[in-house]
Amino acid sequence: MSQKTFAGVTVDVNEEGYFTNPAQWTKELAVEVAKEEGIQLTDKHLAVLDFLRERFAKGDNLTIRSVGNSGIVDIKGFYGLFPGAPMKKAAKIAGIPKPSSCV
């Protein structure tokens, strides 16, 4: 298991940089991870991250469609918030493992 330091806090990550212990996540760390991904977090970003963390904690399958149906943002908006690979980037910033729906 690897470790990475964000804003002076060391967290456990896998080889792709995803948190292996979601309990280590904080919003302050999310801001730092987002910076590495080239994203400046807004309240809308944080609402999506909270949604993903809640769904992950419940054991739900995380998909782009589920985010689009969340009522927080539509699919196009999700791509706008997390350009390129929205689910991968959002999961990494949310401090949860990469969803199985991501390749």
Total domains in the fold of the chain: 1
- Mean pLDDT value of segment 65-80: 95
pTM for the model: 0.92
With respect to residue 16, please indicate whether it lies within any of the assigned structural domains. yes
Classify residue 102: in a domain, yes or no.
no
Specify if 15 maps to a domain. yes
Q: What does the pLDDT look like over 26-68, one tens digit per residue?
A: 999 999 999 999 999 999 999 999 999 999 999 998 999 999 9
pLDDT of residue 99: 81
Catalytic residue (one of 46, 47, 85, 102): 102
Q: Establish if 17 belongs to a structural domain.
A: yes
16-25 average pLDDT score: 94
103, part of any domain: no
Assigned domain for 100 exists: no
Residue 91 — very low, low, confident or very high, per pLDDT cuts 50/70/90? very high
Please write down the HEC assignment for all residues of the chain.
CEEEEECCEEEEECCCCCECCHHHCCHHHHHHHHHHCCCCCCHHHHHHHHHHHHHHHCCCCCCHHHHHCCCCCCHHHHHHHCCCCHHHHHHHHHCCCCCCCCC
Residue 1 catalytic?
no
Q: Please, what is the average pLDDT of the chain?
A: 93
| Domain span including residue 40 | 2-94
